Structure 1
C-alpha cells in the first residue's frame, strides 16, 4: 500500500506497488506531490515556464544576462527596459541583472541594473587602456599615465642625441690640440707646442675614442 508522501523530501512514495483498493485516490496524491516537488525545483532554479517564453524565462534574482548592441548615439543609450518576457518593465526586483553591450564604437561594455536604471561597470582593462600614453617627447609630464615602451625609448634616444651626440667631438675619429691631430692609438702622441706661449701651455692627457 502506498505510504503518506512528504512533498518536501518524497519520503513515503511507493510507486512500485500502487494501492489497488483506492487506485485513483493514491494515484492522485502521488501525482499531486510530484507536481509540488517539480514546482519546488523550478522555484529553486528561478525558472518559470509559460506560453510566452520559449524554453522558460528567468525570474527576478536569476543570473540572466542581456547581450546585444545597446549603443546608438552614445554609450548605453539603448539598453533594455523590459524583462525577458519582452512586455513587463524592469523594476527593483531585477536589480543585479547584467547587460553586455557589443557595440563596435562604445563597446565592449558591461552594465548592471540597480533597480531603476543601468550603471556602467568599470572594468580593469578599461583602466589600463586609459592609463597608457604613447607620447615620444613626454611633453605632458602626466602624473597618472604610464608611457609605452616605444615612447620611453624614443625620449631617451632623443635626449642622448641632443646632449651627447650633437657635440661631434665624442663621435669624431680625432681632435686637434696644439697643432696636433690626436687619433685613436695605443701609443702616446707628442703635442706640437711651437708658436705657443709657455705660460699658456699645460700638461694634458687625452684619450680619443672611435
Structure 2
C-alpha cells in the first residue's frame, strides 16, 4: 500500500512539471505556425502625395473676421484655403460662407462653392451657386458675387434670381449697400432689366 502511495505521489509531482511544459510547447508551436514572417504589405498607410503637399500649402477651416468702416461686422469661413504664392495677400478658398451683421440690426448670410479673398484689395470674389439670404426675407441666387471687406457692399454682376416679400424677381444685377440717402440704413437694389412676378399672398 505504501509503495502504491509513493508511485502515485511521484506521478503527481512529475505531472505538475511535465504538463505545464507541454502546454507551453503547444502554445509556442501554435503562434509560430499560424503567423509567418510579415512582409509589411498588410500594414495600413495613408495615400498621401507628399510632393503635392509640399507644392500646395493648405489651411483647414480658416476664419476671417473684421468690421467695415461703416460698422458692419463680417465673419467669413471656408472648408479649406490655399494662399497664392504668386500674389501675397490673396487666398483661394472652397465652400465659402460669410455673415454680414449691419449696424441697423439686419443681417445677410452668403454662401458659394469657392472664392478668392484679396486682403490687400479688400475684396472677396465668390462664385459657383452663390446665394444671399437676408433677414428682410430675400433669397438671392447668382453665379458670382463680390463682397467688399472695407465697406458694406455686395455686388452681383450677371443674371440674378431672387425670392422675396413682393414675389419672384429676375434682374441683370444686384447691389446690397448703404442707402445713399441715409447712411444708417441698408438697401438691396435690383437693376438692369428687372422682372417681378408679384405674389399677392406676400
Same fold (TM over 0.5): no
Structure with the higher fraction of residues in strand conformation: 2
Higher RCO structure (Cα 8 Å, ≥6 apart): 2
Whose Rg is larger? 1
Give the TM-score taking structure 1 as reference length: 0.28
